[in-house]
Amino acid sequence: MWVVDVIDGAVQFMQDLPQFCVSVALVRHGEPVAAVLHAPLLDETYLAAAGHGATRNGKQVTPSAKTALAVTVVATSRPPFIARQPEAAARAGHSLSVVLPVVGAVCDLGPTSWQIADTAAGRLDAFWQYGHDDTNLLPGALVAREAGALVTDTHGRPWRPGADSFLAAPPALHSTLLGLLANTE
């Protein structure tokens, strides 16, 4: 099955901000096996294929090597129509109060899939989200995994479509972030 979002970051697109992308994932047996993310105004493209790594504009990407949360820039987002997922909205709000005091900065830069890909490339140090949002998470999840980031739910289980939470982070930060996010339950 192909999963296509012609404008991941529609709000940014409508506000004339450059942080939006086209995201495409080929999904086989519930798992993404190929992904393409293209941000036309940034003139950048992420590509990933299961077992073949991930690239941005043809160059291999790897996650951040940071180990201290105090100097990290992490990102979060929310599924479209978050009001339809009140538990996810509550967990997202609580997670900010837990994460903000211990990291360098928390951002929401727009499209979910692109923020996950930027985590895969080390531009961001981690990304988390609560709620069901498979369409936006599938392409970025593959890019992150193929780059070497750990991709789980906030309980530490491998992320799968249908999960109610998502965390992508380099191995050196992943367990510490899991511990923080466990306090949002």
Which pLDDT tens digit goes with each residue over 81-105? 888 989 999 999 999 999 999 999 9
Give this prediction's pTM.
0.95
Q: Provide the token pair at 29.
A: 């047996």
| C-alpha gyration radius of the chain | 15
Return the SS3 of 99: helix
Q: Rounded to an integer, what distance in angstroms lies between the CA atom of residue 35 and that of residue 32?
A: 7
Q: Provide the token pair at 181.
A: 């996010």
pLDDT over 70 at 9, yes or no: yes
Mean pLDDT of 160-184: 94
Judge residue 151's burial from the number of C-beta atoms within 10 Å of its C-beta, 0-12 exposed, 13-18 middle, 19 or more buried.
buried
Query: Looking at residue 185, what is its pLDDT?
Result: 65
Mean pLDDT of 155-161: 96
Q: Which residue has the tokens 């949360």?
A: 69
Q: Which residue has the tokens 């504009």?
A: 57
DSSP conformation letters of 115-184:
HHHHHHTTSSSEEEEES--HHHHHHHHHHHHHHT-EEE-TTSSBP-TT-SEEEEE-HHHHHHHHHHHHTT
